[in-house]
Amino acid sequence: MTNEHQMDPEGAPVPDAVSPAQADMVDAGSETPAGVTDTGLTATGPGVAASEATAPGAAAPDAADAAEPEDDGPAESVLHAVSPVKATLASLARPAASEPRRALRVLLAGASGTIGTEVVRQLEAAGHTPIRLVRREATGPREVEWSPAEGRLDPGALDGIDAVVNLSGATISRVPWTPGYRRQILDSRITATRTLTQAMAAAATPPEAFLSGSAEGFYGDRPGETLTEDSPRGLGFLPEVVDAWESAARQAPAGTRVVLLRTGIVLAEKGALQPIRLLTTLGVSGPLGGGQQHWPWISLYDEAAAIVHLIASSSLSGPVNLVGPTPATAERLMRYLARRSHRPYLLPAPRFALTLALGDAGRELLLASRRISAARLQEDGFTFAHPRVNEAVDWAVDRSEHGA
């Protein structure tokens, strides 16, 4: 989610949305054109557990938060108890994937955005070489010019590239979703992804892995369910967009491992927390549509850490849910942010008001409920630095207050 206003294809100014939900359905290249933004739509080096890194904000919860129960039922508690054992067995079964084999060269679309910037930082910290795709003339050996709108990327730029990461697409947090802007949301994702897959197909040696942005909006509104990567597509505009986006990514060459990054609400100092922090600071925060809908969240630190893990220390392919391992409702996230900010949490926004004001965007971004499992990522050996939503909020707020 970005702060700047932008114009929709029909020329009308498009105001920022008021919520974080899916604000990060993924961002643009280093030279960001109007109407395109970052996925944020961070971490340990590959093969290193996040808890072993220098990630601030991963401390145990304070006494006040410990007194507030997590949103876990008995089945979820059993899952949490079993998952570490399953993860250990899985890692023993895959010794070759538990350590990075060599320094990698990684080509990134969207490297200047919130998520992309942190992925670049972590890749460099781990000894890898990130190369940025830019929509202007390249200025050095670690930049490559491209034009997704024109379908232009020199296949020679893929020479020596081990993995490609795609984080490009127009933000979905701009409202209203006019017919023209709906087309832009879809087309920006398809054209960028198609440009990458066509260049990979034409390359002398295609990359080993292609990690393409996706979103948890794939599942639609699914109250009462626990959703995994095997769950079917939901209903609505966003599920249709994500399905088409993932289909475009699957056109990568045979032999290239394709990973679809079904990202949740990314909690970062410049990401999804910005609009609700503003409401909280003004003292007008409160339940959205009752607040009992599940919001799948993940800290920026863990989002980038998971991407680095999937590049360098994993053999997974297909969709992977990038969400925190402990489910949380909108009520829990927003109430904790208000308490952390020493502000009231009193003013409700009724469901009918949000729907009237925002239409489909309100229904799909704010009111939809998605309780999504992170088990596949955990069983692949990934360890979250911020497994609880309060830890992710603390980390993001601390970075905002004290600087990244």
Which range has the top average pLDDT, 57-66, 276-285, 317-326? 317-326
Look at 63 and 352; give whichever has higher pLDDT.
352
Written as six digits, the tokens of 162 are 């081990």
Q: In the chain, what's the furthest Cα-to-Cα distance?
A: 60
Give the pLDDT score at 9. Answer: 34
pLDDT band at 277 (very low <50, low <70, confident <90, very high): confident
Is residue 67 pLDDT above 80, yes or no? no
Is residue 39 pLDDT above 80, yes or no? no
Domains of the chain: 6-46+62-273+295-327+368-399 (3.40.50.720)
Is residue 220 pLDDT above 90, yes or no? yes
User: Could you report the per-residue pLDDT of 82-113, keeping only the tens digit for each?
Assistant: 344 444 444 444 444 445 468 999 999 999 98
pLDDT band at 125 (very low <50, low <70, confident <90, very high): very high
Give the pLDDT score at 6. Answer: 33
3-state SS of 69-129 is CCCCCHHHHHHHHHHHHHHHHHHHHCHHHCCCCCCCEEEEECCCCHHHHHHHHHHHHCCCE
User: Could you report the per-residue pLDDT of 334-379, keeping only the tens digit for each?
Assistant: 999 999 988 999 899 999 999 998 999 999 999 999 999 999 999 9
User: Could you report the per-residue pLDDT of 312-322, keeping only the tens digit for each?
Assistant: 999 999 999 99
Residue 210 CB contacts under 8 Å (≥ 6 apart), including other chains: 163, 164, 166, 196, 197, 200, 249, 252, 256, 257, 258, 259
Give the pLDDT score at 211. Answer: 98
Asked if 196 and 152 count as a contact pair (C-beta separation under 8 A), the reply is no
Give the pLDDT score at 237. Answer: 97
Look at 273 and 263; give whichever has higher pLDDT.
263
pLDDT more than 90, % of the chain? 64
**For residues 399 and 271, what is the distance between their CA atoms, to the nearest angstrom?**
12
Mean pLDDT computed over 168-179: 89
Give the pLDDT score at 278. Answer: 80
Is residue 269 pLDDT above 60, yes or no? yes
Give the pLDDT score at 107. Answer: 98
* Chain center to CA of 175: 20
Give the pLDDT score at 280. Answer: 85
**For residues 289 and 363, what is the distance between their CA atoms, to the nearest angstrom?**
10
Is residue 72 pLDDT above 80, yes or no? no
**For residues 48 and 81, what is the distance between their CA atoms, to the nearest angstrom?**
22
Torsion of CA 252, 258, 263, 268, to 10 degrees: -90
Is residue 46 pLDDT above 80, yes or no? no
**For residues 54 and 99, what is the distance between their CA atoms, to the nearest angstrom?**
19
Residue 12 CB contacts under 8 Å (≥ 6 apart), including other chains: 178
Burial class from Cβ neighbours inside 10 Å (0-12, 13-18, 19+) for residue 402 reads exposed
pLDDT band at 2 (very low <50, low <70, confident <90, very high): very low
